[in-house]
Structure 1
Amino acid sequence: MALKYFERLVSPIAPVLTALSVEEGQAILRERGDEIAVLISDQRMPTAYGNELLRYARDHHPSMVRMLTTAYSELGEAIEAINTGEIYRYITKPWDLENLRADLRNALELSTLRSERDEMLREKLAVQQQQLLASRVSQLATVCAGFVQPDFDAGLHAFLAAASTAECLAPAIDWRTMDHADLMQGETRRNVAIGQALAAWKPRFQQPLDTPAAAAASLAQAMPEQVTLQEGRPVINGRNPFVWPLEGAAGELPQPGQVAWLAWLLAWGRPVRIEKSNESNWTIHLDESPPPALGPDWLARDIEELLQGL
């Protein structure tokens, strides 16, 4: 009866979904939680207390506005729910109809504000991730020139083209555990480590890579766990070698094998094309023709292509 009465009262303000128990409420949240702006739960329900449903909603739908309706004798439980972050506010029973409608309108307005805030934060984070990805590309150019060789253009261009083909993602930034200074410190350590790893790989590729066969054999020797030769062509298992220096988490230092692909491309210095052969394998096509003339703005174009794929 209370559910029917509540639905009749609230439906002119917003669509209403009702549940008879905590279990039914959790089932609705699992199925339709993304549609729900405000959750109101009675404290006394069959088999479980309402704050259990509110705690479930807090854990799985944190932006949902949560409210508790309770009798005067249960105010201690309502206050505890507020203090633990489970609810926005409580509504005492018996309901005052005008106050209840006002509370619901305020809750719906708060939900709208939260949604707008979350959307703004998502857009801001997306921009920051794109900026970090572009910064990593320019830093890779500096690292390649400083640690490996000044004529790095063709190798890095081939690496960025492969990263675009492998649908490189923007690196994640966890602003809950780091601020901007922490991010810059982690990125600096990361870039130095990448440069040192590339420099360590350089002697491995000193022998002339003057033919596709020699280059393919060299790559297979450098990455034996990930590369096999099929009909003379290298086949790489997984997309990680193509994207790790760009996708890796902030501050994550490289393992030697994670930069072997880039080091090999810098040594090969000629056109390369990757092609996805199945769910996990990528075939590498080598070209003996001279490196293409990239022009002065090649790095900017490569960065734009990477960002367009996000």
Structure 2
Amino acid sequence: MKPEKILYVDDEAIALKYFERLVGPLAPVLTAISVEEGRAVLGTHGSEIAVLVCDQRMPGERGNELLRHARQHYPHIVRMLTTAYSELGEAIDAINTGEIYRYIAKPWELESLRADLRNALELATLRHERDELMRDRMVAQQGQLVAARLGSLLVACAGVSETAYERALFRFARAAQAVGSREAAIDWNQWDHADLQQAEAQRSVAIAAQLRRWLQRWGAFTGEGPAQDVLAQALGGEHRPDGVLLRQTKGLTELLSAPAGQVVTAEDCLWLAWQLWTEGRFSVAGSAGAWRVAPAAADPLPVDWLADAMERLRG
């Protein structure tokens, strides 16, 4: 939703009415009579507000306190301070500390006020468009990250197991699709493209090492029954005659959905290691509000299964 409203905060009721009458033709106006009330309005309507105009001198907290709050919690809002000429120094300080876009001197000059607010609304529109583009970019990058991780897992599996590693990852990917793998979060304030690629490469090395440790720990595969006992104990499931019943599925998807830069743990790798150990003999399906891991038919793998899984998991 595009923010289009102006919030004006002033402790003088007459000023609120005057502002609303003057500015109403430009955009819908919300008002508040104190910093505390202004915070409440932001909490309720923050996503709808494009511009915040606040008087500096009010009983209790000063206007720049509200502007600082908006800067921290609602960075899309264009912030403006209105103040008398005698308080100009405070307005300049607010500008210098990045709390406001500009100040409006009191008493207002009508056409200048409207021009300033038009410019602020245009800036808010540009910010909204920029944020939408960034959001689309982030969604695309997150989808690409999951696909890249799946490809890296195939390489890691091939490096630690010589038999049925492709089928094991096929079962892993199908389970992630079934239970619903969440997007991998990327903090774009922390990562650029090169650093992210380096971190993901190091992550793949760590995963391969953990997979190797699990396979060494379990030794030779001794049959489906004992393997299901191992899984039930490791993931907190219940071994039943028709398979292992799981109520928690985080362990089935963490290798794909963990935030960028998160350290890989042995527990994160257990499910994929188990699929490698059992050579992809088991699949996952929904079962009465939970998930059942049970033996699966050894059908030939689809030729394009990896590309299909990448496409489905990236949403």
Give me the TM-score of the superposition, normalised by structure 2: 0.90
What residue number does 1:138 align with?
151
State the Cα distance separating 1:276 from its structure 2 match. 6.0
User: Do the aligned partners of 2:143 and 2:183 also contact (CA within 8 Å) in 1?
Assistant: yes
Distance 1:276 1:19 in 2: 53
Selected match of 1:45 from 58, 71, 80: 58
Distance 2:312 2:222 in 1: 29
Selected match of 1:160 from 169, 173, 189: 173
What residue number does 1:216 align with?
228
Distance 1:23 1:220 in 2: 53
What residue number does 1:286 align with?
294
Selected match of 2:257 from 233, 242, 247: 247
Two-structure CA RMSD over aligned residues (Å): 1.7
Within the alignment, does 1:267 sit opposite 2:277 as a pair? yes
SS in structure 2 opposite 1:260?
A: helix
Distance 2:81 2:293 in 1: 63
Within the alignment, does 1:235 sit opposite 2:275 as a pair? no
Distance 1:130 1:37 in 2: 30
SS in structure 2 opposite 1:48?
A: coil
The aligned amino acid for 2:228 is A
Structure 2: 5+ residue runs without aligned partners? 1-13
What residue number does 1:4 align with?
17
Distance 1:93 1:277 in 2: 67
> Deviations 1:36-70 (Å, cap 9, x if unpaired)?
11010011122221111111111111110010000
Within the alignment, does 1:25 sit opposite 2:32 as a pair? no
State the Cα distance separating 1:277 from its structure 2 match. 4.8
Distance 2:163 2:227 in 1: 21
SS in structure 1 opposite 2:83?
A: strand
User: Do the aligned partners of 2:231 and 2:244 also contact (CA within 8 Å) in 1?
Assistant: yes
SS in structure 2 opposite 1:252?
A: coil
Larger displacement relative to structure 2 (4-13 or 230-239): 230-239
The aligned amino acid for 1:247 is S
> Deviations 1:80-116 (Å, cap 9, x if unpaired)?
1111111100000111110000000000000000000
Larger displacement relative to structure 2 (61-70 or 149-158): 149-158
State the Cα distance separating 1:220 from its structure 2 match. 2.9
SS in structure 2 opposite 1:37?
A: strand
SS in structure 2 opposite 1:200?
A: helix
Structure 1: 5+ residue runs without aligned partners? none
SS in structure 1 opposite 2:274?
A: helix
Larger displacement relative to structure 2 (89-98 or 45-54): 45-54
> Deviations 1:137-162 (Å, cap 9, x if unpaired)?
00000000012235212111111111
State the Cα distance separating 1:218 from its structure 2 match. 2.5
SS in structure 2 opposite 1:18?
A: strand
What residue number does 1:78 align with?
91
User: Do the aligned partners of 2:54 and 2:67 also contact (CA within 8 Å) in 1?
Assistant: yes
- The sequence identity of aligned pairs, in percent, is 49
SS in structure 1 opposite 2:53?
A: strand
| Count of aligned residue pairs for this structure pair | 301
